[in-house]
Amino acid sequence: MSLTNPESLEPPKVGATLQALRQAQGLSLDELSRRAGVSKSMLSQIERNQANPTVAVVWRLANALRVELTELLGGERSAPPAIETVPAHATPGMSSPDGLCQLRILGPIDLAGQFEWYELTVQPGGALESAAHQPGSREHLSVLKGHLVVSAGGASQTLSAGETARYAVDGPHAIRNSSKQPAVALLVVLHA
């Protein structure tokens, strides 16, 4: 007669791993649901360990998160590739409430709050207005296309394509497009 550990008979609980991977990639439940073809309610139940997914669901989630199946099941993480690529459709982004400013988050999530970089698109009349960051923080704005006006520290400066502005952001600051054409820039934020 052999004795078996009862815990070894239970399927792996992928909830915490799923949630950590989803959050590290900046994905909402809605976005992961869309990518994986798994209902949002099922994802929520899996993350709370109220449901154990089938192998097919785990496979779809691993593909949607671009991780190995074993990593999602709580196994050893495979070595990172020599060159990691992020497809354009997988680059997270956000828009201003009026939709006139879009930020594509180019930097890895694990550097957020230290060093961040974005592709910024500002439509005519759009403005990206920001509250003060912590003292000593700076932004670097490089205009790739069009014209943008930077306001910081009580001053304003118009930038054209090819120009870069570096400025303190420990007070309110803004980036505006007062032209009639869309503008595109790279925005780097260095937090102190």
Mean pLDDT, residues 70-90 taken together = 73
Distance CA 41, CA 26 (A): 19
pLDDT at 3: 44
Q: Which residues, including other chains, have CB under 8 Å from residue 108's CB and lie 6 or more apart?
A: none
pLDDT at 10: 59
pLDDT at 4: 46
Q: What's the pLDDT band for 169 if we cut at 50, 70, 90?
A: very high
For CA atoms 72, 74, 79, 80, give the dihedral sign: positive
pLDDT at 123: 98
Backbone angles phi, psi at 144, to 5 degrees: -95, -30
| pLDDT over 50 at 77, yes or no | yes
Q: Which domains does the chain have, with CATH numbers?
A: 10-72 (1.10.260.40), 91-190 (2.60.120.10)
Mean pLDDT, residues 54-69 taken together = 83
Percent of the chain with pLDDT over 70: 89
pLDDT at 44: 87
Q: What's the pLDDT band for 79 if we cut at 50, 70, 90?
A: low
- From residue 147, give the alpha-carbon distance in Å to each of 25, 98, 158: 32, 20, 7
Radius of gyration of the chain (CA): 22
pLDDT at 131: 93
pLDDT 10s digits, 89-132? 878 888 998 999 999 989 887 677 788 999 999 999 999 999 99
pLDDT 10s digits, 1-42? 444 444 445 566 688 888 888 888 888 888 898 888 989 888
